A and B are shown apart, each in its own frame.
Chain A
Amino acid sequence: MINSYRPTTVEEALQLIHQKRCHIFAGGTDLMIRKRQWQGAERKFTQPVVFINGIDSLKNIEETDTHYIIGALVTQTEMAESHLPEYIRVPYAQMSHPAIRNIATVGGNIVNAASVADSIPILLALDAEVTLQSVEGERTIPLGAFILGKYKTVRKDNELLTYIHIPKKNYNAYYYKKIGQRKASILSKVSVFIVHHKLDEIAITIGAVNPMVIRSVQLEKQFIKDHSIPDLIQGFKAILSGVNDKRSTKDYRETVAINMIKTYLEGVINEL
């Protein structure tokens, strides 16, 4: 029999996960599926389960002069309906479908670190950082350093992701498009997020192509300098490594990612 716990404070949760390796369960939209065996039968868990959804202190969106601070248990619906900038709200409003957005959490999507997770391209482009807490202390690291690969992160077993910090920027335009096998309620087979202030500042991410979200600060810097779309495209092409799978093909993912970036930026340059 697997034990399960429902702490209501961060401290309580940290004590639990410090003692034993546990499944940490937030909204549960991924774990409920991955651990199923048969309808009506118990999920198949091999480690104790810690349900953190009762920790109310992680359910708020706050802001300082420089940052938005998102509690890990804020839902996707709360993000979509918040006062955050449109370039954050709109992508969250396009994730999954309304009822799932009501339970799926911001933190869960990050910790899960699926290559198709829709929030990661957004947060990565925005230079988000995550706070990890344990009984031994806490650390705040860039999201890019947090995720190591598909379903892999640097989180230690005794650490809990508690907050996401999104720096405030003065971006004035963005482009977001996720492409799935149909028009709604679908995992991405490729997504592109571009956020910028004229062409003085820009961040570009590509999701669901490589095992990890693609972002190249170096290419962004170069593009700010020379506004050369061909060079930018060349640069991205060199780092794209999509795969053929049940949902799409390497060729499609890569071509369409490039097409989207190219078409959008050509439009931006034309308007300048």
Chain B
Amino acid sequence: MKIDFILNGNAVSIESTYTRRLLDVIREDFDLTGTKEGCAEGECGACLVFMDDLLVNSCMVPMANAVGKSVVTIESFAQTEAYKSIENAFMSSGAVQCGYCTPGMVMAVYELFKKYDAPTLQQVKEGLSGNLCRCTGYQMIFEAVAMLVKEGYRYD
């Protein structure tokens, strides 16, 4: 059947089933591979996207639940000013090792600032608790967020 939604700001229409995962549609139909499959059960956060401005695990979203929604992936988010500061903080802090969790982590960091103007360490830990990283031990990711707080980073 035909499914319409908005992907990275563009109205798109695809031939698909309601039961396919948003993750597969993004990756296979649109070749947007910055969204990764880590665990396929909503635990790791590698597949995070924004759907109507809410952070969601795209591995858990059937296309039926994306109908008419506005989906933003890392590829589009990476074009924004809001992204540039996060990228810079991640690079300066050493927050990236193998990189597989990173796009999802970046999205979750942005969402964190939606909730808090200057998140405390405990709020950062809670806010990123759905993003697993096996390389960094998270410490430098916390440092990246602390750097953003120091710079007065704001969600917009």
Are A and B co-members of a single complex?
yes
- A interface list, Cβ under 8 A from B: 2, 4-6, 25, 27-29, 32-33, 36, 39-40, 42-43, 45, 49, 51, 53-54, 77, 96-100, 102-103, 184-185
Beyond A42-B17, A42-B20, whether A100 also contacts B129 by CB under 8 A is no
New contact pairs (13) apart from A97-B130, A99-B57, CB-CB < 8 Å: A5-B18, A6-B67, A32-B41, A42-B17, A51-B64, A53-B64, A53-B65, A96-B130, A97-B129, A98-B130, A99-B45, A102-B54, A185-B129
- Picked from A45, A53, A184, the residue with its CB within 8 Å of the CB of B19 is A45
Give the contact-size bracket for chain B: 20 to 34
Beyond A36-B40, A39-B24, whether A98 also contacts B108 by CB under 8 A is yes
Indicate the member of A27, A33, A185 with the most B CB atoms within 10 Å. Answer: A185
Beta-carbon contact of A185 and B17 below 8 Å: no
- B interface list, Cβ under 8 A from A: 17-21, 24, 28, 37, 40-43, 45, 48, 54-57, 59-62, 64-65, 67, 108, 111, 125-127, 129-130
Q: How far is the CB of B55 from chain A (nearest CB, A)?
A: 5
Q: How far is the CB of B42 from chain A (nearest CB, A)?
A: 5
Beta-carbon contact of B37 and A98 below 8 Å: no
Q: How far is the CB of A69 from chain B (nearest CB, A)?
A: 23
Chain B positions within 8 Å of A32 at CB level: 21, 41-42, 59-62
- Picked from A6, A43, A45, A100, the residue with its CB within 8 Å of the CB of B130 is A100
